[in-house]
Structures are given as structure tokens and as C-alpha cells.
Amino acid sequence: MSDDKDAKKDDSPGNFVWDLVCQDREKGKHGGKVVTRFPPEPNGYLHIGHAKSICLNFGIAQRVPGGQCNLRFDDTNPETEEVEFVESIKADVRWLGFDWGDNLFFASDYFGKLHEYAVAMIEAGAAYVDDRTTEEIRQTRGDFYKPGDEAPGRKRTPAENLALFERMKKGELADGAAVLRAKGDMASTDVKMRDPVMYRIRHARHHRTGDAWCIYPMYDWAHGQSDYIEGVTHSVCTLEFVNHRPLYHWFLDRIGAPEATRPQQIEFARLNLTFTVLSKRKLQELVYGKHVAGWDDPRMPTLAGMRRRGFTPEAIRAFCDRIGVSTKDSVVDVSLLEHALREDLNARCPRVMAVLRPIKVTLENFPEGEVWEIDAPYDPEKPDGPSRKVPFSRELYIEADDFMENPPKKFFRLSPGAEVRLRYACIIKCKEVKKDGAGNVTELVCTYDPDSRGGTPKDGRKIKATLHWVSAKHAASAEVRLYDRLFRVENPLSGEGKDEWLSHLNPSSLEVLANAKVEPSLTGAIAGHAVQFERLGYFVVDPDAKPGALVFNRTITLKDTWANIAAKGEG
């Protein structure tokens, strides 16, 4: 980390982008000012990859006195952009814990300015209208070994090109009938420099400018200029933009931007995660193909999905800090993200009891009508800390798989004749197994040891297993949605076939349990309330929950069950 003296003190780890910013400040570049930006295209929801960019850009601005990070929507493509996406992106950035203050911008704010620049370039003979078909333009562009042909439009006078551009703007030409191109170098080995397209015609309504325009700037033309117009000092972007850099500079030369006021582009490696796809187009396919319930499906790597799943902004920020920022592409193990999540939830979630697949237990020697109101701490490691009352009575539910009629040797939980401890309550022993006509276990008749109240038997005998439970009469019913990884292979996109990645969807990524029982303290829990169900994992109340109809999402299991599967597979 740089030891820049006035930089705000915090615990964020350093990274090479931060180091470059610090060096620029020391040199007094941009008068010591630091302006970054996060420039999403509003054509989908933000995902965890975007979070890396948000944490980096907003993080840098936060660490510098007077630092600024703009939220700029790159809304140059009217056909794919929607207000819904703009609103969701704003909500997600805020939720992650960042604030753009007054610095909310849209590339469409600059349509007028960009048009002025373009007109000036045409007047200077630096841009021209190409009214050939897209196909012709492509065919005459050449390739790495062969220079492209010069377009006929290049030979027109500026006045002629200006008139044609005006007709494009007025809507007199159809979509695709003409484009505005900059006069680059058709022989350049950098194919991007071969007369790059600046404007295309799209008779489409724009979410902000309505029908005011039917020509729209290309991303490459709008992006660098937008940074420049906003006074961005450090334009931080992902590696695939390295080869756009010369073009961005060249455009800035054309519009006469002084060297000292130009943004410096810094590229970093985008986030890739195992078992996850992070391409917005692929995420769109998942949503529109109904492979998931929506953008905020808790299995999606979108911030909206992760929020609904029970991720916290703190966990995501901690993860982004931990993975760091580099200039080499790599794939991060998703278990690192899950680890950050467990670590955060472990520190914040109260421990409560829920039974997901209930089986009834009747304590035949427990007095009918008697109820123990057990004072149970929310954090077992702090027995004197905050607590709630958990009722215990004659009829209980325990987890069906905590019982086995014919247990193998090392099964220490409940079985006929065996003893177990019920958390915070007492020791019980199974006397009888009741079944229905089909042979399914319907009820366990047990006795409790009155001398074991609290869970410790008076005679000091060892009890190996402690089970969670709820009181049948007092428990609230709940639907529980058990979520798991959406893909069952590490690299879902590795296949050759176009739709092959969809065959890697995990068919067990969602299991719905309709008859779960939760302790009564959770009765009025509202959406977003996060808890640990003892022995089961972390869960959060889903927004689908209604008064009297609880719905819980499993955020994550207590342990990494996938690691066990992988280890077993190898052994």
C-alpha cells in the first residue's frame, strides 16, 4: 500500500490500481484530483463481477480526500435498455454500500455534445458518411494481413458528408442505410483503427431521450468521450479494453482534448468464478429461457439474487477485498465467496431451531399440558447474552433423518432404545416406533429423563448426540427453499456446443420443503431476517413470505458440502 499521507486511513488492502492513483497524486497530475466511475450498460442486472468493479472504483474514490466516483449509465443502445435495469442497478450499488452523491450521469446526457464533436470532425474532413450496406463495409475492411479498401464516402466534400449526416439525423434514412465513420487508417494493423464507425441509425425509442434521436453513438465513440466530458481522471476497466486504448486516444486527439485533462485508462482482470456464469448475455438467457425464476432468483450470481439468497453487502465486500485486483485473467474458486459469506453470517446470525423434515415425537411420561419455557441464548457462545424463550412440551418434532430404525454402527442419533439430548431441554430415549399401513414411520414414542433438565443427566452418563427440535403445538409452519449451486460443473462454459452450458445446470439446485416447522420466536419474522438454524445452515426470510406464511431461503450450509463430494470423488 502507498503511504500517501492524506489518504484516508482504512483497512482496505492495496492494489496496483490504487498504487497508480497514488503515484499520479504525488506527481500532482489532474491537480491531485481523483475521479473514477462505474459505467454499467443498463441491459441487465448487476452481478458479482460488477461488484468487483464497484468496490474498486468507489473504494478508490473513498480513500482519497475529495475523491469522486460517478455512476454513469452507458445507455447508447436504445433497443436493449430498460428503466427497470437502471433502477435495479442504482438499488444494487446502494445496497453494496456505495454512494455516488450528485454524480449520477448517463451517456445519453452527452448525445448533444457528441453530435457537436462529430459535426466538427466532418467539417474538418476527419469523418464521413458511408452509405454502403453493412455487408459491404465488412467485406472491404480487410484483415490482419490485408489492408481495407477506402470507402467512397471518404472522397466526398465535408459539405456533402455534413448534408448526408444531417439526413441521417433527421430520420430520412432507414436503419442500416448509412453510418458515420471516422477517417482512420484503412491499412492499420489495428483493425479497430480502420475507419471506426461512430454513429448508426436506429429508429428506436430511447428510455431517456425518447424519439429525439434516431442516430446513436457507437460504444467506442461514446465511452472515451463520456469519461473525458465528466473529467474522469482514472478510467478503470477490464482487460478486454486494452486494445481499445489507442482508438480512445485517437478520438480524443480528433476532438482536441488537451493531454493533461485526459483520463488515464487502467485495465484489470475481470472476475471469473467456478460453478458460475457471469456473462450478462448468458444470465439473460437463464432468465428469458425460464431456467430460473427471474433476475433475483436466489441461485443467480446477480446482486439482486444474492441479496434474496441472504448474502450481505459486507460478505461481498470482504470477498472483493480478499481476491484483490490483478492484470492476469484467472478463475476464482466459488468456495472463497462462500467462505466469506459463512464468516460474515457466523458473526451476525442468531441461532434458532427449525425442523425441515419433521417427524413427531411424543414423550409418554411428560405431563399433558405442561410447558417448559426454556431460556435459550441466541449465541450459544454467550450463554448470558440475548436470549429468547423456547417452549418445550409433550409433543415435539425432530428431523426425520435424525432417526433410524436400524442404524449402522456409528449412528449416534435417535434409534430404538437409544438416548439423545434435545438441545437446551433434556435427554430422551426411544421406546416405540409407530408406522402407517405402508410401513412409514409416523411417530416416535419416547420417554424423557426428568433428572436431565437442561441437558445434563444427573448421573453424568455420556450422551453423544444433541438434536434440534421444536414443540409441535407451538411451532410455526414454514416453507423452506433449499438452494444450491446453479451449475454442477466447475466451468459451465467449457463445452463446444452453443447451448451445451445449459446441460450443466444442477437439477437439484432448488428443493422446496413445504412442511417445515420453526420455533415460535420466528413467527413474525420479516423479509431479510437472517438466522442460523442450528445444525442446518444459514437461512433468510424470503420476500414471498406473508403474515402467517413464513418462507425461508437457505443461504448456505454450515460446511462446504461440495468439498466433501470432490474429496470422495478423488478417493
Element (H, E) at 104: strand 104-106
- Interface stretch with ligand ATP, choices 39-47, 342-350, 361-369, 416-424 (CB under 6 A): 39-47
Under the binding rule (CB under 6 A), the answer on residue 50 touching ligand ATP is: yes
Would you give the distance in Å from CA 226 to the centre of its chain? 26
Q: Which of 237, 304, 425, 426 binds ligand ATP (CB under 6 A)?
A: 237
Cell 463495409 locates to 137
Rounded distance between C-alpha atoms, residue 178 and residue 132, angstroms: 6
* Contacts by 374-381, CB closer than 8 A, 24 or more apart: 374/424, 374/425, 376/423, 376/424, 377/351, 378/350, 378/351, 378/352, 379/350, 379/351, 380/351
* In the complex, least distance from residue 10 CB atom to ligand ATP, rounded to whole angstroms: 21
Residue among 141, 270, 351, 488 flagged as catalytic: 270
Nearer to ligand ATP (CB atom), residue 228 or residue 424? 228
Q: How far is the CB of 199 from ligand ATP (least distance, A)?
A: 20
Q: Does 41 bind ligand ATP (CB under 6 A)?
A: yes
492 forms part of the interface with ligand ATP (CB under 6 A): no
431 in helix, strand or coil? strand
Does the active-site annotation cover 490? no
Q: Which is nearer to ligand ATP, 54 or 374 (CB)?
A: 54
Q: DSSP 3-state assignment of 197?
A: strand
Q: Where are the alpha helices (DSSP H) in 107-256?
A: 111-123, 134-139, 158-170, 219-230, 245-254
For the record, the C-alpha cell of 349 comes out as 446470525
What cell was used for 555?
443461504
Which residues are registered as beta bridge partners of 197? 181
410 is catalytic: no
Please report, as residue ranges, which positions from 494 to 523 form the binding site for ligand ATP (by CB under 6 A): none
| Rounded-to-integer distance, Cα 395 and Cα 518, Å | 14
Single out the segment in contact with ligand ATP by CB under 6 A; choices: 48-56, 77-85, 197-205, 369-377.
48-56
* For ligand ATP, the closer CB: 53 or 555: 53
d(CA 504, CA 489): 6
| Piece of 34-42, 252-260, 399-407, 483-491 that binds ligand ATP (CB under 6 A) | 34-42
Q: Does the protein bind ligand ATP through residue 52 (CB under 6 A)?
A: yes
- Other Cβ atoms less than 10 A from the Cβ of 182: the count is 22
- Map grid coordinates 470432490 to a residue: 566
Considering only residues 277 to 296 of the shown chain, the ones binding ligand ATP according to CB under 6 A are 278-280
CB of 62 to ligand ATP, least distance (A): 18
Q: How far apart are CB 252 and ligand ATP at their closest, in Å?
A: 19
Nearest distance in Å: CB 454, ligand ATP: 52
Q: Is 49 in the site for ligand ATP (CB under 6 A)?
A: yes
Q: Does 303 bind ligand ATP (CB under 6 A)?
A: no
User: For residues 38 and 46, what is the distance between their CA atoms, to the nearest angstrom?
Assistant: 11
Q: Are strands 550-556 and 466-467 parallel, antiparallel or unpaired?
A: unpaired
Of residues 37 and 481, the one with the C-beta less far from ligand ATP? 37
- 52, 200, 280, 307: which one is catalytic? 280
Closest CA to 303 of 535, 48, 112, 10: 48
Selected binder of ligand ATP within 15, 36, 53, 76 (CB under 6 A):
53
3-state secondary structure 437-478: CCCCEEEEEEEECHHHCCCCCCCCCCCCCEECEEECCCCEEE
Q: Alpha helices, DSSP H only, in 142-199? A: 158-170
For ligand ATP, give the closer residue by CB, 305 or 537.
305
Judged by beta carbon, residue 50 or residue 421, the one nearer ligand ATP is 50
* Cβ closest to ligand ATP, residue 52 vs residue 517: 52
- 8 Å CB contact between 444 and 360: yes
Give the integer Cα–Cα distance in Å for 561 and 426.
30
Query: At its nearest, how many Å lie between ligand ATP and the CB of residue 137?
Result: 24
Report the nearest approach of ligand ATP to the CB of residue 50 (Å): 5
Active-site residue, selected from the candidate residues 25, 41, 183, 554: 41
Question: Catalytic: 270?
Answer: yes
Rounded CA separation 278/331 (Å): 11
Q: Which amino acid is at 279?
A: S
- Residue span binding ligand ATP (CB under 6 A) among the ranges 49-57, 403-411, 455-463, 499-507: 49-57
- Least distance CB 205 / ligand ATP (angstroms): 21
- How far CA 301 is from CA of 272, 275, 305, 309, in Å, comes to 11, 10, 6, 10
CB of 324 to ligand ATP, least distance (A): 12
Close Cβ partners of 546 (under 8 Å, ≥ 6 residues apart): none
Contact, 25 vs 4, CB < 8 A? yes
Would you state the cell numbers that stand for residue 496, as one nine-digit string? 463446444
35, 234 contact by CB (below 8 A): yes
The closest residue (CB) to ligand ATP is 49
* Cβ closest to ligand ATP, residue 53 vs residue 553: 53
**CB nearer to ligand ATP: pick between 185 and 329:** 329
Give the nearest distance from C-beta 76 to ligand ATP in angstroms: 11
Residue appearing with cell numbers 410401513: 439
Which residue number, 50 or 394, has a Cβ lying nearer to ligand ATP? 50
Count residues contacting ligand ATP (CB under 6 A)?
14
Per-position x/- string for 240-279, each x denoting binding to ligand ATP as judged by CB under 6 A, each - no binding: ------------------------------xx------xx
> Catalytic amino acids?
41, 270, 280
Site residues, ligand ATP (CB under 6 A): 39-41, 49-50, 52-53, 237-238, 270-271, 278-280
